[in-house]
Amino acid sequence: MMNQKKKILLLTTGGTIASLSSSEGLVPGLNGSGLASHLSGITDNYDISVKDILHLDSSNIQPEEWVIIAGHIHENYKQFDGIVITHGTDTMAYTASVLTFILQNIPIPVVITGSQLPLAHPLTDAVDNLRYAFAMASSGIGGIYLAFNRKIILGCRAVKIRTTGFDAFESVNYPYIATIDSTGLNINHPAIPEKTGEPMYLNKLCSDVFLIKLTPGLNPKIFDMLVGLNYKGIVIEAFGAGGLHFIHRDLISKLEKVIERGIPIVISSQCLYERSDLSIYQTGQLALKQGVIQAYDMTTEAAVTKLIWALGQTSNLSHIREIFATSYAGEITI
């Protein structure tokens, strides 16, 4: 008996993959059926339904759009074996991370992909990336993933590391979920995070989160401005394992005042690889004493979107601390 083709939903959101040239540069112009017309080798192998949900360069994809994308996944996931989302590469890692928190324990694979060259370009990487995304989407392994350049990355561990190279994404501080070679899709089963319970759909977000990269000599008064602008949460990319300056300009006592107002401050590292740990140096320990939250080995994209999501669920500081001390889908090594 012939294997039944897997039912895959293709959601399109724009990005380079769907872009066409215009007098103002590349703009997302191809719709879903335009995309599908380039994919004969793929469409033969799956039972594909296409839905255009957005037509945006991903620089314009923000929390409002994350909620729209998550809503389409939530409405449809019970009818499909898997979902593929085409998306611009520039903010793809943020979208992949936030979907991880909104749609915890999703039982089907949801795979985001895009390309560095438009689908219509003769040298495009789009067709291959779509092949990898469809292969993962039909794997039966639930979760949010990103497919790019022969690799499948856990959504909340993906980082865009190149502006033009085809090897644009990396899995940071986490093994690849799968690689593709002449033996096919090789899934690294031990790397698949265990489900923590029933599928959830928690789509409330708070976009008032500010990410600041520490530079030597940064004026602590910047934090007064952020409070004045009504930011509800702050992520700081600190130095190395998590250091912050306190001589000449005392960031530590300023952070204490911000936290006293109930505003969570999450500290991550400017280093892309390995974990931050504020307990190592005095410059970190002093900040810990004021109540900052550690991001440990999370990517910046995951730390920012986790805070956006956490503040959508609660404004209670101790609850937010608990959320950051929990791994929902492999985003942090506790």
Judged by CB under 6 A, which of 32, 109, 114, 142 binds ligand ASP?
114
Q: Which CB atom, from 19 or from 138, has the smaller least distance to ligand ASP?
A: 19
Hey, CA dihedral for 312, 317, 318, 324, is it positive or negative? positive
Least Å from the CB of residue 155 to ligand ASP: 16
Binding range to ligand ASP, per CB under 6 A, among 68-76, 85-93, 174-182, 325-333: 85-93
Binding range to ligand ASP, per CB under 6 A, among 84-92, 99-107, 276-284, 302-310: 84-92
Query: Helix 300-313 to helix 92-102 angle, to the nearest 10 degrees?
Result: 40
Burial (CB < 10 A; 0-12, 13-18, 19+), residue 218, is middle
Query: Helix 63-76 to helix 92-102 angle, to the nearest 10 degrees?
Result: 50
Does residue 284 bind ligand ASP (CB under 6 A)?
no
Beta pairing, strands 209-213 & 233-238: parallel
Angstrom distances, CA of residue 303 to CA of 98, 120, 235, 247: 10, 35, 7, 27
Q: Are 180 and 132 in contact (CB under 8 A)?
A: yes
Strand partners, 312: none
Output DSSP code: residue 208: -
Least Å from the CB of residue 18 to ligand ASP: 9
Instruction: Compute how many residues bind ligand ASP; rule: CB under 6 A.
Output: 10
Q: Is 56 helix (H, G, I), strand (E, B) or coil?
A: strand
Strand partners, 112: 85, 146
Judged by CB under 6 A, which of 57, 237, 297, 301 binds ligand ASP?
57
- The residue behind tokens 């999370």 is 298
Q: Which CB atom, from 90 or from 237, has the smaller least distance to ligand ASP?
A: 90
Q: Which CB atom, from 9 or from 119, has the smaller least distance to ligand ASP?
A: 119
Does residue 268 bind ligand ASP (CB under 6 A)?
no
The kind and range of the H/E element at 85 are strand 82-86
- Say how far apart CA 334 and CA 328 lie, in whole Å: 11
Closest residue to ligand ASP using C-beta atoms: 88
Does residue 118 bind ligand ASP (CB under 6 A)?
no
Judged by CB under 6 A, which of 88, 220, 243, 330 binds ligand ASP?
88
Contact mark string toward ligand ASP, 12..51, x via CB under 6 A:
---xx-----------------------------------
Catalytic residue among 12, 16, 89, 300: 16
**16 catalytic residue (yes or no):** yes
Least Å from the CB of residue 42 to ligand ASP: 19
Q: Which residues are identified as catalytic?
A: 16
Q: Footprint of ligand ASP on this chain (CB under 6 A)?
A: 15-16, 57-59, 88-90, 114, 116
